[in-house]
Structure formats: C-alpha cells, structure tokens
Amino acid sequence: MKQAPLPNLKPVKPGDPISAKHYNAMVEAINRLSRIVTGPDMSYDSRLIFAELAEDLDENERNAELNKLAYDETISAGTDAVDVSGSTQGRTADVHEGVWLDGERHLWFWWRAIGRWIPIPGMQLHIGKMAATLSQGGSALMDIWDVNDAGAWVDSGLSVTVYDWCLAAGQTIETGKKVIAFQHRQTRRWIVLAAEC
C-alpha cells in the first residue's frame, strides 16, 4: 500500500498565526518519520542498534537472532559493561559470503528497502612490541605503539593481551619484537597476525 506524501511544511515568520491544522501536520510528519527510522519493532528506538549475535550468520542464514545490548553504568571499570536488554530481533540479511559468529558484537542498521538488519563489521588492528615472550598456544602482553605529533613511532602507554594462533610447537615471539595484532570479533581476543623475524 502506497503512503501519501509527507505534508508540505512551510516556515513561519514571527507573528504568523499557527492553526491546529498546521501544528497537526507537523506532528504527523514527525510521527511518520519516526516510524520510518524505527523499523518494524517500536521497541527499537533507532535504526542503528548495538547487538550481539545469538547464533552464527552466514550466506545461508537470513533470520539470525540478535540480542540488543544496553550499557550498564553500574558495572565497575574493567568488566563487560554491556548487557542484553531483553529484546531480540530476527530479521537479518544474508551477509554476501561473509561469516559472523555467535557472540560477535556489531552495530546493525535497519535497511528499510529490504526490511532487514545489516551488520556493520568492524575490526581493530594495532601494531606494537611484545612486552613478554609469546609461546605457541599461549598469551602475553603487547605494548601498543602509535605515531606522536613529531611523526615518530612511540609507545602509547597502552597494552593488550595477545594470543597465538600460528606458531609451531617450540616457536616463540620474544620480548621486544614488533607485532601486528587484530581483535577477533567473537571472542574479543587479540590475535597476533604478523611478527618480526
């Protein structure tokens, strides 16, 4: 069913009379735009949500369950401060040969043209140096490096725990070696992608 166009609202000048008809036209326009942005479920207050997958999503799945997440300010720093808000949404789109895993957290936007949620994938990639030796199958601290105002590479003062995925038995990445690590979206672990020989 085709909807009538939105009311043609015109600016008013100081002193112009505003009738109930004009006011109601504005209310109608706002309400209709709100419905467009919100999507099919009015409990979703935005066409952009932060949600965690409750199941794997690949090119064969179009209705994976999402758990909408909410930020909890009462949780102490250093712990997971997002929580499932109790609402779920199942109208996801296929991901064009991609694979998203149960537990991954992404921003999702409501694509009104197809009536489905689309994931906005994100990946963090950092460079740094090992603050301790990383052994095969293990984990160790990596200091994150960045570029300062003078254009020089410097230690940022931040660090993350990185995990091995590629080392053979007996291999290590020694303290002080340069590394590149990315954050695996499902586990949120930092995985070493490359290392200085």
pLDDT of residue 156: 94
Amino acid at 49: I
Local confidence band at 6 (pLDDT 50, 70, 90 cut-offs) = low
Q: Give the start-to-end residue ranges of the domains of the chain.
A: 48-120, 125-195
Cα 120 from chain centre: 6
pLDDT, tens digit, 9 for 90 and up, residues 42-71: 444 458 888 888 888 877 778 888 888 877
pLDDT, tens digit, 9 for 90 and up, residues 30-43: 877 665 555 544 44
Tokens matching residue 113: 């043209």
Pick 77 or 179 by higher pLDDT: 179
Tell me: pLDDT of 2 over 70: no
**b vs e for 56-71, b when ≥16 Cβ sit within 10 Å of the residue's Cβ?**
ebeeeeeebebbbbee
Tokens matching residue 134: 């990383």
Start-end of H helices in the chain: 20-38
Domain 125-195 fold: OB fold (Dihydrolipoamide Acetyltransferase, E2P) (2.40.50)
Local confidence band at 128 (pLDDT 50, 70, 90 cut-offs) = very high
pLDDT, tens digit, 9 for 90 and up, residues 87-97: 777 888 876 66
pLDDT of residue 85: 64
Tell me: pLDDT of 127 over 80: yes
pLDDT of residue 143: 96
- Could you give the 3-state DSSP secondary structure of residue 99? coil
Tell me: pLDDT of 173 over 70: yes
Q: Check if the beta carbon of residue 98 is closer than 8 Å to that of residue 106.
A: no
